[in-house]
Structure 1
């Protein structure tokens, strides 16, 4: 399911645009989420090879892969939501899964994680101005990142 909205903001010249996508929570689920995000950003003036679209692809890909790997509930999808605020020069990326929110991601990722995985949030941290997570009721969590865009 793909939904796009345009919402007037507080100021007359301020407009928020958003994209909401539901993706299969499977090993290949991150790929379509990333494609939707890059295509949507391209339609808003940030071509696929631009620094902005590359940063968005990286953040969406990592958060979606984490939702599939750590937040997967069989038969349930994960959600991707992008909110573009041109006036503020910001993009918010949100990935929501349906798993029990017993363990939210660490606020500060480890600089030298052990093992073969655990570096994804370091990749998110690099282009993001800030990021975090929120528990959902009754279950699930949303992991979000905010990116600064050229105004």
Structure 2
């Protein structure tokens, strides 16, 4: 019986020209677009203190990330050791993210940016209590700040 199944399987592969793709299910296109690491507005320099930090410091009901602020809630800080209250704390990363939390010049591999997007490659989308989540304009601010080199200013 096994040899007959093997022969039928081999015959099927040969009949398909050695390629099984024609019988693969149609799963459709990607759900989320490809990430482009380029700065979307090179004429505008994003400021961490003026534009990025205020987004992170908002209350969760406003789409913010205060779970990573020991002085306000601290649950996210306690779980991940990720502190989002200052540039230096953010750049230290957390237990899981380490220095990959922000990879200067590449938002597409920076955990901070990826976790804020609609389909993070691992774990839950942040902020965990969302919605609301970051809007496309707010995501673009974080993306461009990282693409520009993630300066402290």
State TM-score, norm by structure 1.
Answer: 0.27
Which structure has more helix as a fraction of its residues?
2
